[in-house]
Amino acid sequence: MHDFVSLTTYFKKLRTLEKKSERKGEMDMEIGSQHFGHQHPVEFKDVLSDETKEAICLRCGEMVFGSSFSFMECEFYLHKKCAEAPSKIDHPFHRNHPLVLLPKPKYKRCFCNFCGKTCEKSVYHCSCKLDFHIKCALFSLNMAEKKLEELKHITVKVPLLFTEDDNKELEKLYCFMCWEPLLESMYFSLDCGFNLHKKCVELPHEIKYPIHKRHPLILQFNVDHFSCKICLQEPSGMGIVYSCSPCRFSVHIKCAEFPPILNLPCHRNHPLFLPVKRGGSCHACRKNPSFMTCEETQQNNFYHCSSCNFGLHLECASPPLTIKEKIHEHPFSLFWRQASFICDACGLEGNFVSYICSTCNLLVHKKCISLPPIIRIPRHKHPIFHKYFLQDHQFKDCDCRICDDKVNIKYGSYSCFNCKFVVHVKCALEKKGWYKEVEPKDIDGKLAIVPKMSANPIDCVIEKNEDGEMTKIKHFGHEHNLILSKNLIEGHCDGASLMDKYCDGCVLPISNPFYYCSQCDFLLHKSCAKSLKQQQLWFHICQRFLILLVGYIFRCGLCQSECNGFSYMCKKCDVHYCLYCATRDYRIKHQGHKHPLFFDRKHEGRCDACNVKVRGLYKYSSCDYIVHWDCVKPAYLRSKKTARHKTETYEIVPETTEGSSCIIL
C-alpha cells in the first residue's frame, strides 16, 4: 500500500511539472507571436544584433539599446518598456482622469507637459490638454510613487557660484518640475535624461499652507487655469504646482517656499506678512528706475506691514545670502540697511537690500552684481569696460557720451581708456538691444572691430604732390581717374564754372577741395572720396558693418530724402542712409547756435527751428536751445522739394519724423 501511494504521488508531481512546462511553452509562444500593431509577429531580444547599426523605437522615437521587441526585416523596433507600457495610467499628479496611451498625438503641434519637447510618436493623453512622452509619463509616475530606481545611482551635482564659459548651455536649462533654472539648486546629472532639482524630486505630495488653511495643497500637473496666488503669474501648462482644485487655489513650487511671515533687519519694529492680493510699493527698488525687473516679474505682490505701510517685493524680501558673478573677483554678501545708499557699481541710489564686498569696500545693488564687464555700443568703435571708479588724472572730461550729463567718477561707469570715452551705466544698459556683451577671449588684444574685407575706397593712388597729398586717384565708385582741385572758379570738362554743381557722393553743392573727372561730369568732395566702403554707424541699432553703395536711387532712412548719391546700406535691416546723414556725428557745431550740440535720444520737446514736437533732439546742456535731426541739415536742403539726380528730378515725400526705419541711439 505504501508503495502504491508513493507511486501515485510521483505521477502527480510529474504531471504538475508537465503542466508547468506546457504553460511556459505557451507563454514563450505568446511572447514570440505578439504583434504590437505590426503585421508580423515580433521577436524579443535581450541585446540587439550587431547587424543592426541604427534601430529607432517606433513608440518613443529614440535609439533602441538593450532589451527590445523587433522584426528586423520591416525595421520594426520597440523598447521593452515602451512595448509593455500600460494602455491607461492613473497618475497621482493628475487624479481627475486617467492618461490614455495613443499611437500618435491628437494635435499637429504637440508638446510634452513634463519635458516641454515636441511629441511626434506615441503619447499619453488626457482631455485636459495633457500630453506626455511614454518615457516622461512612466518616469513621472515612478517619481510620484517614490520609485526612484533610475535616479538611485545618478550623481547629484552642486552648481558652482561662478559658472564657467563651458557651462553656457547649462545656464539655459530648467527643472522639469518647478521650471526654475537648473543651476539654482542641487540637481541630478543630465545623464538621466531628465532635468530635475534634487529638492523637487523629494517634495511631499501634500502640504498644509498657512495662507490656505481650508484644505491641503496637492502636488499636481499644472493644467488648471489658475494663476499663482503668490506671484500672480498666469499658468503656463508646464511643470508641477501645489494646488487645491475645489478652491481654485494654486501656488508654484518656488512660491510655496516663501514664508508667510518675515522678520527682517531692515524693518525691526514689526513682522512683515505675505498678503494674497495686488497693490503696494516696494521700499527696496522703487527708487531705482533703471532696474525694474522686480516689479515686472512679481506684479506688485509683496510682504507688507500695515502699521508702517512698509512693503517689499517677494524677490527683494528673500535675496540670496551670497552672489558671485564675473564682474568682480570676490563674492558679494547680503547687507541689510535701514537707510538709502549709493551703489558703487552704477552710481544710483538704493534702499534696504544691498550687497557688500568687504575686501574691496564696495556696496552695490543686487542687479548690479551681474553687470556685463565688457560691452559694445554703437557710439564707440572700441569695447568699453566697467570700472567701479576712475581717477581724476585719467579722465578730465567726464561728460556721458550718451546723455551729456556729468559722470561721477567716484562710482561705476563704462569707459574706454584709449579714447577717454565714458558713459553712465544706466545710459549704456538702458535697453537690452542697444548694447552687446563682449567676452574677454573675443578681444584678443584688438580693441576695434575690423571689417572682413578692405574698407579703403581708393583702389589706387596714381599721383601725389610734394606734400604727399593724393592728386590723382582711382576711386571704386567711378570708372575713370579722378583729379584733385582746390579752385571752384577754374573751368573743368566743358570749361563751365562749377559753382552750381553738386557732389555725386553727398549730393550737396561742391566746395573746395574736391576731385573731378576730366572725361565726364563726375565730382566728389575730398572728404566724400575718403568714405569707407564698410562702416559702423553710431545711430544704427544692429551694430553691423554697413556697405557703401554707388549708383542706386534710394530713400534715406533718416531724412527721408530721395537721391542717387552714395549710400550706406544694412542688408539685415534693408535700410539706406545718405552720405550726409551717415557722416553726421552725435556732437555737431550748428550754424544757428554758438555752442556745440549733443544728440540726446531721450530728450523730448519742441524744435527751436521748426517748432515740431519730437523725442530725440540735439541740445546743449547749459542753455535751452534744441533742434531735431532733420533741422540740422543746411537750410537750403530743407527748403528744396526735389533732390538732384544725374538724369531726372524726382519729387521727394515731405519730411516727417514718423515712419522712419531707423532707431537713433
Q: Are residues 514 and 594 both part of a single domain?
A: no
Last residue of some domain: 104, 124, 154? 154
**Model confidence at 28: pLDDT above 50:** no
Q: Is residue 50 part of a domain?
A: yes
Q: Are residues 109 and 66 both part of a single domain?
A: yes
Is-contact 482 493, C-beta < 8 A? no
User: Rounded to an integer, what distance in angstroms lies between the CA atom of residue 128 and that of residue 223?
Assistant: 7
Q: Are residues 551 and 593 both part of a single domain?
A: no
Q: Is residue 120 part of a domain?
A: yes
Q: Are residues 573 and 601 both part of a single domain?
A: no
Q: Is residue 322 part of a domain?
A: no
Interval 542-550 mean pLDDT: 85
Q: Is residue 526 part of a domain?
A: yes
Strand partners, 627: 618
pLDDT in tens, 246-265: 888 888 888 888 888 888 88
pLDDT in tens, 122-155: 899 998 889 999 888 988 998 888 887 778 788 8
Count of H-run helices and E-run strands, the chain: 12, 43
Torsions phi, psi for 282 (to 5 deg): -95, 125
* Residue 415 belongs to domain with CATH number: 3.30.60
- Residue 438: pLDDT band (50, 70, 90) is confident
Q: Are residues 481 and 421 both part of a single domain?
A: no
Entry pTM: 0.60
Q: Are residues 609 and 514 both part of a single domain?
A: no
Mean pLDDT, the chain, whole residue set: 76
Q: Is residue 664 part of a domain?
A: no
**Model confidence at 348: pLDDT above 50:** yes
**Percent of the chain surpassing pLDDT 70:** 74
Q: What is the dihedral of CA 102, 103, 107, 108, to 10 degrees?
A: 170
Torsions phi, psi for 664 (to 5 deg): -85, 125
Question: How many domains does the chain divide into?
Answer: 5
- Residue 595: pLDDT band (50, 70, 90) is low
Predicted pLDDT at 413: 93
Predicted pLDDT at 343: 92
Q: Is residue 650 part of a domain?
A: no
Say if residue 553 is exposed, middle or buried (CB neighbours under 10 Å; 0-12, 13-18, 19+).
middle
**Distance in angstroms between the alpha carbons of the first and the last residue of the chain:** 112
- Residue 489: pLDDT band (50, 70, 90) is low
| 313 vs 469, more confident | 469
Q: Is residue 78 part of a domain?
A: yes
- Residue 659: pLDDT band (50, 70, 90) is very low
Q: Identify the CA nearest to 176 among candidates 93, 259, 78, 65.
A: 93
Q: Is residue 567 part of a domain?
A: yes
**Model confidence at 518: pLDDT above 50:** yes
Q: Are residues 109 and 143 both part of a single domain?
A: yes
Q: Are residues 142 and 63 both part of a single domain?
A: yes
- Residue 566: pLDDT band (50, 70, 90) is very high
| 390 vs 653, more confident | 390
- Give the chain's largest Cα–Cα span: 147
Q: Are residues 543 and 526 both part of a single domain?
A: no
Q: Are residues 139 and 59 both part of a single domain?
A: yes
**Model confidence at 298: pLDDT above 70:** no
Query: DSSP code of 72?
Result: G
Q: Identify the CA nearest to 565 among candidates 555, 551, 576.
A: 551
Got the DSSP string for 525-585?
Answer: EHHHHT--SEE--TT-TT-PPEEEE-S--EEBTTT--EE-S-EEEETTTTEEEEHHHHT--
User: Rounded to the nearest 5 degrees, what angle is found at the Cα of 598, between the Cα atoms of 592 and 600?
Assistant: 120
Strand partners, 588: 597
**Model confidence at 277: pLDDT above 60:** no
Question: 415: which 3 cell numbers?
Answer: 569707459
User: Rounded to an integer, what distance in angstroms lies between the CA atom of residue 605 and that of residue 620?
Assistant: 13
Query: DSSP code of 186?
Result: -
Question: 568: which 3 cell numbers?
Answer: 550706406
Q: Are residues 52 and 132 both part of a single domain?
A: yes
Question: 320: which 3 cell numbers?
Answer: 540670496
Q: Are residues 513 and 557 both part of a single domain?
A: no
User: Rounded to an integer, what distance in angstroms lies between the CA atom of residue 300 and that of residue 279?
Assistant: 6
Of 223-237, 313-327, 580-594, which one has max mean pLDDT? 313-327
Domain membership of residue 506 as a residue range? 458-488+499-530
Q: Identify the CA nearest to 124 among candidates 88, 96, 94.
A: 88
**Percent of the chain surpassing pLDDT 90:** 13
pLDDT in tens, 640-656: 433 444 443 333 333 33
Query: DSSP code of 21?
Result: H
